Structures are given as C-alpha cells and as structure tokens.
Structure 1
Amino acid sequence: MVNLLPLALLAAANAVVAQNTTFLAGLMSTLEDAGCTSLTHIASSLNGTSQGQYLLKSISNGDSYVLFAPNDGAVSNAPSNMTDNPFNLLSYHVVSGNFSGQSTTYPNTTVGRTFLNDTTYVKLEGNRSQVVAWSTRSDGHVHVLNQRNDSTVTNTTTYGNVTIYVVSSVLEWPENFSGAVSADAPNLDAFSATVSNVTQSFYNGTDHTTKDETVAEIIGGGFQGFTLFAPNTSAIEAISGNITMYEQNATQIQTILANHIINGTSVYSPELVGKSYTSAAGQAFSFSINATGQYVKIGSLTARILQPDVLLSNGVAHIIDQVLVDTQEDMSAASSACVGDV
C-alpha cells in the first residue's frame, strides 16, 4: 500500500507556497504603487525561507494587520544592519490587529504588537514579540515613536486585510536602557547616573536581593520584562541635594529606585489606567488620566507622565516629572506580584 501522507504533506506545502506567492505578488504591486519599490526587493526573498513563509501565511490569513512600509528614500538611508536581515526587518514592520478606527493624539499613544521576537534583539517577558508605538503629533502627522530618525506616516493605503502606512524612515527596534538614554531619551541623563551609582554599589557588594538585582540589571539590559517610571533630569535636579544623601545609604536609594519599577511586566501607557500594579519594592501603583495628562501615584506621591512608551529591548520606560521618593518596602508583596506577572 502506498503511503499517501508524504504526498499530502507535500501538496499542502506547495499550496501554502502558492498562496503566499499570490498574496506576495499583490502586496508587492500595491507597495510599488505607493513608492516602496525598495521594500519589495527586500520582501521578495521571504517566500524562500520557512520563517518568511510563516510571516506571509500569517498576514494573508484574512485577519487585520498594519504594515509600516518604508518608502524608497527611507530604505536607502537605513543602516545596513537593518536591511541585511529581511525577515527581522519585515517582522518589526508588521503589527497584528485592526487599528483603522483608532486615532491618538500625543501624549496618548497607540501600541501594537509586531512579529519581531528574535532573542538577539527582544528580551521581553514570556518571550513576547516587540511592539511599535505611534501617535499624532501637534503638526497633525502620525509619528512612529522611539526612533533615532523621526519617522512619519506620509501616506496610507490598503491591500486586502493589510493597512499600509508608508513611513519616512525604516523603523529601528528598541535598544536597552543605556541605548535609549543616549539615543531616544537624553533627558534621562541624571537618572541614568543615579542608577549607575546604585549598579556599581550592587556589583561591589555581597548582600544581593531581588530588589537590588532589579535595579542593577536595568542598565545592563539583562532583566526580562519591566516597566520603569523614570524621572527626567529636571526632576532629579530639583532634589539634587537629597539624591546625594540617599545615595549614601545603599538600602534606601535601592528602595526608592525599586519603587519606580514594575518587575516582570512591560506595561504600555494605554494599559495603565484602570489597573493596579505593585512596585519592585512591594508598594502599590495607581494611575489616572484627565485633560492635563496621565499620572502615576505611589503612596502619597503623584507624578505626571511626560513622555510615555520609551520602548526598550527588555521592557518600557515612561518619563515622569517628579522623583517618587518612597522609602517604604514590602518584599513579600513584591515577590508575589512578580511571580504573578511573569
């Protein structure tokens, strides 16, 4: 008796390739009409790899997706490390979900989950893939946030179930905290210096706790999944004398910094209000929003979120206008919260 199973599997595989080829041809034609011919050259190699076939099969399944499509000028100016890997590049430019009815004005943002989950670049909790954040700025244009080169949506079109946002720059996936400070959020220099001092004392010491490790690993990017409420330089300078005093007490400054962190969970700004989280030092966060902005509260201290969704390779930071000087801790609550969030 002839075993028909291998033939059936081969036929199914050929059908997938044929479906992908048809979908890809139509998508490439739409992109060319939109001024994204260079992107079609990059994408044309996808159907020749198993990873590429998976991506094409996913976005051709009839569900809603957004494709951020760099125009020809964007691709020509992109770093080679971005364009040398077509699968990773396209994976970070495809977002799952229907966002056609959503419109946010900064500092409110829209956040979508991409297909990029290469562990070389993404270290989020639960092996989740990386996200993209975008919003309409005061100039009336939609901007993709967290980019070294400002990337704006210059045109919108569709192909089947895919909404295509033509963008002016290739989207770069997020770096760790140190990279973000130097590239995307230079107003965190003072906070970064404070964290560096704590990190140094951690590595020089011997009495390591989960709280200490959480603070120390922000800089190195070794921690997998966290949310950081990072005071800007003005906030640090406003209490500069006290910061110096706190830094002389390693336990106290570590507790204060841990009370700026949600450990084990990357919480983006659209997900904050209406939920409660516990800090890495075991204190309760709460959130609110009104006509003046979005706020984070811990204990009796409240800060306004000035710049939401600074995306990181292993988490997310929200820049705030006050230092949350909370020296209280409950490590049992912190441990329970972290286990529950991962």
Structure 2
Amino acid sequence: MQFKEFLLLSLIGTSTAQNASNLTDALGSENSTLSSLNSLLQQNPQFLQSLGNATNVTFLAPNNDALNAIMNNNTNSSSPISSPGDLDALLRYHILNGTYYASDFGNTSQFIPTQLTNSSYTNVTGGQRVECLADSNNNVTFISALRQNVSAVTNNINFTGGTIYIVNGVLSIPQNVTDTLANANLTAAAGALAATNQTQNLTDGRNVTIFAPNNDAFNAIGSVLSNQTTDQLSNITGYHVVNGTVAYSSDLQNGTLTTENGEEINISVINNETYVNSARLTVPDILFSNGVIHVIDQVLNPNNTSVAPDTTATSATPAYTSASSGTGGIPFTSGVTTPTTTYPAATSAGGQTAEGAAMPIQTGAIGAAALFGGAAMLANF
C-alpha cells in the first residue's frame, strides 16, 4: 500500500475527546482544525496511548491543510512509504522534549531534541533536533531537513503535560549525508566524500559536524585538487569533518574544533559573521541524520591552518596558493546524481527578520517521499 492510500484510510473518523487533561484530549479539543491528525492518531492506538501519557513535551500538530497538502503533492507515488515505523518516526519528530511557550523563543535559534531516537532514522544523541526561533511578534518558526520550515498558526494550547502549537506544515525527517548534500546542491562535497571512501563512515557515525564547501569553492581550486593523491584528498576532506560533536550555529564561538584528521580548525565570530579559518559560513544548520552541515565558501587547507579571515574581502580567496579553476568542470561531480529538486533555503542565506536575523525561506508543502525519503534510504544503507 502506498503512503497516499495509507494516509487516506487513516484519516477516516474523528476524535471525540471531551477535555484537555492530557495531550490527546487537548488535540481532540481542537478537532475542527486537527481532525485529520486526530483520525490518523486513532488509527495508531499504540502511539496514541504513549501520546496520552506524555509529560513535559511540546507537540507540533499539523493542521488539516498541512496533511491534505501532503496527499495532494505526493508526486512520487512509487515510493513505498506505508511502513508503520516511518509513520511512528514522523510523529515522534513532532514531539519536542520540554515545554516551550512562544515567549521562550527569540531570533536566536534553539536546537531542541525530539522523541525521534530510533537509530534507523537518526544518530544524534538525545534525539534528532528541530530548529526553533521566533520574531518580535512571537511568530514561531520550526525548521527541519534541508531548512524546510513550518510556521505556528496557533500558539500555546496548554495541557497538564505541556503545550501544543498548531502548525501549517509537516516537518521533514533529516536525510542521510549523501542525500542531504545532493539536495542542498553541494554535489562536489558529496562527490569528494565518495571519492575518498568516507561516505559510509559518515553514514554510520554518531554526532557529526560537517563544514561543506559549496561547488564554487571546489571549482576555485580545481587545479590543485586534480594533482592530489587519494591520501591527500582524504586529508583534505577529513579536515572538514568533526566527529563526536554536533556543533549547531548557536554552539560556534571563538575557539577551535578538532577535525577527523587530528588537525584543529579555528572558529571566529566577527561582526555577527562566522568564519572557519578564513572561510565564511554562508548557510548554517542543515540538519542531517547524523548531525549538522554548515556551508562554507572555501575549501579548507589542512596545511594552512593559521590563515585568518579577511572580513573586507568581497569574494573568497582560496586557502591554496596559486590555485585556479580546473578544466574539467566542477571537481568530483561527474559521478554524483544530480537531484531533481533542490531546496533554495539550503543554498542561500534566506530573508531577514526585522531584527536582522537570518530566517529560512518558506518552502511550502512537499510530498510524502520528501518527508520519509532520507529516513528510508538511511535504513537501507
């Protein structure tokens, strides 16, 4: 049974909760807006029971329009997304650990763990994260895979065990490293990791931070990369990976991080811009199944670790002397499958709030395959 049919059958019936003493009762009290969600929960009694016992949680409840949009936009009808495990994972990704009211959020992102802890879907200690922030009017945004975001349309529906936000979309479970890099149009980084046989280690790894150069950065030093041995390339790619630490943007402060190859990278925060050695961080916090990816505008040089950022430069200067573009196109991309859909918010800085903080681009409704595709591929690796 395909997911579209599975979801349609699950949405038959309604919840009839009479009071809001627990989470399921509170959801039932909003049945005119959440009838599709309530019906889906009624068709999954084991999860519904655990939901009723939940305490100190924040539940992000997709409204009827959000769930209907999934059905209407499920363009990949061949994707086998009828697994109860997939559905359980998706629902658990909407449960934040802790009670967070709208007033608890500001324009600095918080990365809050969820009840998605199943190792088939995530290798982040304490549960896969959701990025949360708000503007000065308490308009709250929740950001998931590939910086896709949903907005709260109703805040702070309280019950004895926490609070509920009604949201206008469905969160997407973060994907494995290969799919995340490809869909973020970081195909050179994906190819470089594959060329140095590091993809599987990152797929199996736990708590990983990757500083991923964009395609232009790889192209800018194509002449250097074409002359590297496999061991030299492995040293370069390893210098962009931090194992054992998930360093979200809110964790990046002046100091150092030790990379996979044992060398340190220098983190500098200057005039609200973050730099890694001399590279500028251009897109922060692309969540993936094992941690987080930050996009940078240079390829880091493990043999030039003391290079400092030039905050006055209008374009990135490679950390490799005498480097130039190669003649064969963007390095490492020839064997990488070009994604049919990329996500602009994962490859650009996004808009600005009134306070000047970067906000993601609203990406709208997506198909069921995008919600589960990364998780399903992770399980099949």
Decide: shared fold, TM above 0.5.
Answer: yes
Letter in 2 for 1:294: T
**Counterpart of 2:294?**
318
Q: Of 123, 127, 130, which aligns to 1:132?
A: 130
Q: Of 59, 64, 71, which aligns to 1:67?
A: 59
Offset at residue 281 of structure 1 (A): 1.1
Of Structure 1 and Structure 2, which has the larger fraction of its residues in helix? 1
What does the per-residue CA deviation read over 1:218-241, in whole Å, with 9 as the maximum and x for residues that have no partner?
56x222331100011122122222
Structure 2: distance between partners of 1:168 and 1:94: 16
Distance 1:150 1:308, change over 3 A: same
**Counterpart of 1:155?**
154
Structure 2: distance between partners of 1:29 and 1:45: 14
Deviates more, 1:285-294 or 1:70-79: 285-294
Structure 1: distance between partners of 2:189 and 2:166: 36
Offset at residue 22 of structure 1 (A): 4.5
Answer whether contact 1:113 1:130 (CA < 8 A) is retained: yes
Answer whether contact 2:132 2:140 (CA < 8 A) is retained: no
Letter in 2 for 1:129: G
Distance 1:153 1:294, change over 3 A: farther
Answer whether contact 1:176 1:312 (CA < 8 A) is retained: yes
Offset at residue 318 of structure 1 (A): 0.9
Offset at residue 119 of structure 1 (A): 1.9
Letter in 2 for 1:324: L
**Counterpart of 1:189?**
187
Answer whether contact 2:105 2:132 (CA < 8 A) is retained: no
Aligned CA-pair RMSD:
3.2
SS of the residue aligned with 2:119?
A: coil
Q: Do residues 29 (structure 1) and 28 (structure 2) align?
A: yes
SS of the residue aligned with 1:236?
A: helix
> Structure 1 stretches of 5 or more lacking a match?
1-19, 200-214, 330-342
Q: Do residues 226 (structure 1) and 208 (structure 2) align?
A: yes
User: Larger RCO: Structure 1 or Structure 2 (Cα < 8 Å, ≥ 6 residues apart)?
Assistant: 2
Answer whether contact 1:181 1:189 (CA < 8 A) is retained: yes
Answer whether contact 2:113 2:128 (CA < 8 A) is retained: yes
Superposition misfits of 4+ residues, deviation over 4 angstroms:
82-86, 147-150
Structure 1: distance between partners of 2:146 and 2:37: 19
Structure 1 or 2, whichever has the larger Rg, is 1
**Counterpart of 2:200?**
217
Answer whether contact 1:66 1:164 (CA < 8 A) is retained: yes
* TM-score normalised according to structure 2 size: 0.63
Deviates more, 1:128-137 or 1:222-231: 128-137
Identity %: 26
Letter in 2 for 1:113: P
Structure 2: distance between partners of 1:229 and 1:148: 16
Q: Do residues 235 (structure 1) and 217 (structure 2) align?
A: yes
**Counterpart of 1:165?**
165
Structure 1: distance between partners of 2:67 and 2:83: 8
Letter in 2 for 1:195: L
Answer whether contact 1:149 1:169 (CA < 8 A) is retained: no
Structure 2: distance between partners of 1:310 and 1:218: 19
Letter in 2 for 1:235: A
Distance 1:104 1:252, change over 3 A: farther
* TM-score normalised according to structure 1 size: 0.69
Deviates more, 1:286-295 or 1:250-259: 286-295
Answer whether contact 2:144 2:174 (CA < 8 A) is retained: no
Structure 1: distance between partners of 2:82 and 2:240: 33
Q: Do residues 112 (structure 1) and 92 (structure 2) align?
A: no
Q: Do residues 267 (structure 1) and 247 (structure 2) align?
A: yes
Offset at residue 166 of structure 1 (A): 2.4
Offset at residue 258 of structure 1 (A): 0.8
> Structure 2 stretches of 5 or more lacking a match?
1-18, 75-79, 306-381
Answer whether contact 1:134 1:143 (CA < 8 A) is retained: yes
SS of the residue aligned with 1:173?
A: coil
Offset at residue 25 of structure 1 (A): 4.5
Q: Do residues 277 (structure 1) and 257 (structure 2) align?
A: yes
SS of the residue aligned with 1:115?
A: coil
SS of the residue aligned with 1:241?
A: helix
